[in-house]
Amino acid sequence: MTVSLSKPMLARMFAEAAKLVREHCEELSRLDSIGGDGDHGTTMVRAVAVLEGDIEPANGASLSEMLARAGWSVMGVDGGASSALLGTFIAGMGDIELGEELDCERLAASFEAGLRAVSNRTKARPGDKTMMDALAPAVEAVRVAASSRRPIAAALKEAADAAAAGAESTKHQVARHGRAKYLGEKTLGHADAGATSIALIFRGFATAVAEP
């Protein structure tokens, strides 16, 4: 049973997330074409590619430094709000001292730090049909699991489920932030592209640590 996440495991999580985002690239772009300009998939593929490349299990940086560097690299793909916010989340995860390995409690604290960083940058809150609708419940699920001393694999599975449910819930929401807000009611019935990609990333995290 996985009790803590090492750097190689974190690298595997990001690799799995990247794989899932790549597999769903066209779907993400299609969702974005409803309210945006239809490039969310290609933007996220570029973002997760640098994430994968920058989480280097062998380098000497601390976990916090590694996450900060990876987050800034994601911001550097120049993909508008999507890469800026994902990068802010990843870099924010390193805002607290993480030591060499993450147990479930530290993982929850790290995700919470990332979510705080994102919340400081955007006025979007859950219910506004943005990535926050997947991110906030995912982080909350890890916190709940950590508080009840559940293992990391279970925590990430629950986070992935919560993010997926959050993304699904955006189908019933009207966009209030980002480019899609100008469409209002027309966005009803379609999931938000950003929330969907966050759900994929958390599903990738869960897959990487799933017990066989």
Q: By CB under 8 A, name the binding residues for other proteins.
A: 29, 33, 36-39, 42-43, 72, 74-85, 87-88, 121-122, 177-179, 182-184, 186
Given a contact cutoff of 8 angstroms between Cβ atoms, the answer to whether 194 and 14 are in contact is no
85 burial via Cβ count (<10 Å: 0-12, 13-18, 19+):
buried
Residues composing the chain: 212
Q: How far is the CB of 85 from other proteins (least distance, A)?
A: 7
Q: How far is the CB of 196 from other proteins (least distance, A)?
A: 17
Rounded distance between C-alpha atoms, residue 105 and residue 144, angstroms: 10
Nearer to other proteins, 12 or 69 (CB): 69
Structure tokens at 194: 């950003």
How far are the Cα atoms of 56, 115, 130, 144, 145 from residue 197, in angstroms, in the given order?
Answer: 22, 16, 10, 23, 23
Q: How far is the CB of 121 from other proteins (least distance, A)?
A: 6
Nearer to other proteins, 116 or 150 (CB): 116
Q: How far is the CB of 37 from other proteins (least distance, A)?
A: 5
Nearer to other proteins, 25 or 210 (CB): 25
Nearer to other proteins, 76 or 151 (CB): 76
Nearer to other proteins, 117 or 134 (CB): 117
Given a contact cutoff of 8 angstroms between Cβ atoms, the answer to whether 87 and 75 are in contact is yes
Task: Pinpoint the alpha helices (H) of 2-122.
Answer: 7-23, 25-35, 40-54, 63-75, 80-93, 104-121
Q: How far is the CB of 84 from other proteins (least distance, A)?
A: 4
